Structure formats: C-alpha cells, structure tokens
Amino acid sequence: MVKLPRDLRALFLRGDIVVNPFKFGTIVKGHDFCGREKEIEDLISDIESKTNITIISPRRYGKSSLILNVFDRLEGINTIYIDLMGITNANDFLDIYVRAFLEKLGGIRKITSSFRKLFPNIEDMQINFGAFGVNFKVSPTIRNIEEVISLPEKLEGKVVVALDEFQEITNIKEIDLLALFRKKAQMFENTTFIFSGSRRHIMNDIFSNLEKPFYRFSKIYNLGPLNKTDVVGFISQKFNSTDISIEKEIAEKIYDISNGHPYYIQYLSHSLWNLVNKKGKCKMEDLEEAIKQVLLSEKPMFETLWDSLTANQKMVLKSVAFEVSPYDLEISAGSVKSALDKLRKIDVIEKVDKRYKIIDPFFARWLKNL
C-alpha cells in the first residue's frame, strides 16, 4: 500500500483554505504521485546498469510523471528531460534538443563562451540575443545532427536523457534521424536513454521491427494500470488528510470505474472531493454525480473522436464497447478487420486476452450512452 506521512493536512492548506489534494492533467510528483513503486525500482536498477529503456503506454497514463519521479530519486547522475511533442522537422528536433542541454548547463547566455568546447565540429550555428530571449539556429546537416546528438557525452559523469513522445521523431522526413541517432548513441559510454511514447503502434514499430534501426536497442516497458491496493490506499489517505471520510468500497469503485487508469483515478477523485469538501463525508451518490461531471467535461473530446470515424468504425467500436463480437455485425469480415486495424492504429482499442477493449474507460462509458 502507498505510504504517505501521517499529517498531510498541512500540505493541502493555503491560508485557511484546504486545497484539493488530487492532481490531474499535469506532471505529478512526490506525495501527489500514486503508486508505481515497483516500476520506479526497476527503472532505477536499469539506469544504474546503463540499460537503455523504452516506456510505452496509452495517453495520459502518467509516463512523464513516472520518468520525473525516477529522476528525483537518482543520485550523482545528470538528468535531461526532452519533450518531443509537436516536432515536424530536423530543425525542430535540433532546437528542442540543444535547448534542453543548454538549460541544464545554466542557460544560453552563461555558456556562450563554451560553445566551441561543446560543439567543436559544428557548422553554421547562429545565436541572436533579442528582447524576447535567445534565438539560435543549427543548420540540419548530417555532421551537425551527429554533433548535437553527442551532447550528453560532453557532460561530466553519468547522464540519463529522457526523450518523451519519441514517436514524434518519425514526423521528420528530410533525413533518417532514427538511423543517425542509433549510429551515434550505440557508441556512448556514459549516457543512458529513456524513450517514451503514447502512440503505441508507432513505438512498437520503432523498437520491435527488426528492419528498423532501434530494433533491440532498449528494454521495453509496457506500462500497465495502477495497482488496486496502492490506489485504494492513496485515495483513502488523501481524503482523510483533508478531514473527509471515504469508505473503502467507494475508493475501490473509483479504481474499478477508471480501470486503473492514472488520469481518471485522479480526475474522478478530484471531482468527488470538490462535491463533498464541505460535507466531510463521501456517499455513493456523490460518486455517481462525479462520474457525470467527468463525462460532461470529456464529452467534446469524445465527440471529436467519434465524428472522425467512418460508419463501419463506429459500428465496430460500439460493439466493442458492449463487449459483443464485431464479427456478428451485418458487414463483411474484411470490413470488420479493416475497422479494427484502424482503431488499434490510432490507439482507441487494444487486444487483451484475445478480446478487444476500449482503452479509455470513460470513452467506453460515453459510447454506451449514445
């Protein structure tokens, strides 16, 4: 069971106002982070043995928070976190990658004089100091990209570099960045990489396809749901720490409704806490109201996803939501397979024990109400 300090109330007080103790939609660390002790221990062990790591999970599963909580526990190791979300070309990659290292070293202004030491073979780098900050550009030549990728080896001591949303690197078409990265990284002596991503179809292709450069380059972790015992303990202690009583049955139902999904566990608990903050006690009807609030909040996103699907994909998806075989639908087996393949590719469904299930538990609940 998750262990928190006995007196947590002070952590959630701002003046005379008690602050909601559940955090979602942002990075959570320390006492706000739920569970994952086994995963943290395993990741630290791999890092200490210089094993490269790949973390694959559905969206909003807390992989970024997991990485940063691991970083907080590492001692004597330089840690660099880089979020690649949104990159579309080599220039984007170079900009984000270089900035992360320069910030680690104290900022661009402080180390301008050390640029040649960091980039002894760099070509055509431009640095401009303006009113709105520092602008710099690195020409995306093969030589420059290899030089930039090698930055962690220029730091002193052991280094861990986390590249979050790593699947975004496949957006880069002008060069084979994956091949270049592997070519350089496999020679590093002091650097361990953590690659993480939420587009599981793409991530699996990058790291499990024997024809791809990153095949067997790292140890793969498929991040699963949170442990139920940890979650029930976490929810109970968070409520109790703010003088709100909650029955174990309600905490267990939060877990079951959320299917162990970290985002929804925190989100649903957050909504429930807001409803009962002044009552001092949770009731099952309060939880039902909190579920409605979460569904209402998520509705626009669900509608956007639903509207993007074809008629066949919608029919297949609804059959999965109701746990009915899509092959019982009055469409061809080929059309069913095509729809299932597409829904898996965009990470809407997954196959578990030979059955398909919708990854997002609240999307599944919303579909049943259509």
Is the residue at 21 inside a domain? no
Is the residue at 258 inside a domain? yes
* Same domain? 181 vs 299: no
The parent domain of residue 239 ranges over 226-304
* Same domain? 106 vs 145: yes
* Same domain? 209 vs 244: no
* Same domain? 191 vs 245: no
* Same domain? 218 vs 271: no
* pLDDT value, residue 7: 47
* Same domain? 350 vs 331: yes
* Same domain? 77 vs 184: yes
- Which three-class secondary structure state does DSSP give residue 289? helix
Task: Show which of 304, 319, 341 is a domain's final residue.
Answer: 304
Residues of the chain with pLDDT under 50: 1-15
Phi first, then psi, for residue 137 (nearest 5°) are -130, 135
* Same domain? 77 vs 217: yes
CB-CB contact of 358 with 261 (8 Å): no
Is the residue at 15 inside a domain? no
Is the residue at 300 inside a domain? yes
Q: Which H or E run includes 251?
A: helix 248-258
Task: Show which of 222, 239, 255 is a domain's final residue.
Answer: 222
Q: How many helical (H) and strand (E) elements, i.e. helices and strands, does the chain have? A: 14, 11
pTM: 0.88
**How far, in Å, CA of 86 to CA of 109, rounded?**
26
**How far, in Å, CA of 56 to CA of 345, rounded?**
14
Is the residue at 20 inside a domain? no
291 alpha carbon, distance to own chain's centre: 23
* pLDDT value, residue 11: 47
Is the residue at 64 inside a domain? yes
Q: Which CATH number covers residue 352?
A: 1.10.10.10
Is the residue at 27 inside a domain? no
**How far, in Å, CA of 48 to CA of 228, rounded?**
29
Map 262-286 to HEC letters. Answer: HHHHHHHHHHHHHHHCCCCECCHHH
Task: Show which of 263, 280, 304 is a domain's final residue.
Answer: 304
* Same domain? 267 vs 186: no
Place of tokens 């320390």: 30
* Same domain? 146 vs 113: yes
* pLDDT value, residue 36: 95
Q: Which CATH number covers residue 209?
A: 3.40.50.300
* Same domain? 132 vs 266: no
55 alpha carbon, distance to own chain's centre: 9
The total domain count for the chain is: 3
* pLDDT value, residue 354: 86
* pLDDT value, residue 77: 94
Which amino acid belongs to residue 172?
I
**How far, in Å, CA of 246 to CA of 253, rounded?**
11
* Same domain? 81 vs 203: yes
CA distances from 329 to 344, 350, 367 (A): 18, 19, 17
Long-range contacts of 290-298 (CB under 8 A, 24+ apart): 291/257, 291/365, 294/264, 294/267, 294/268, 294/362, 295/362, 295/365, 295/366, 295/369, 298/362, 298/363, 298/366
Q: Which CATH number covers residue 288?
A: 1.10.8.60
Is the residue at 339 inside a domain? yes
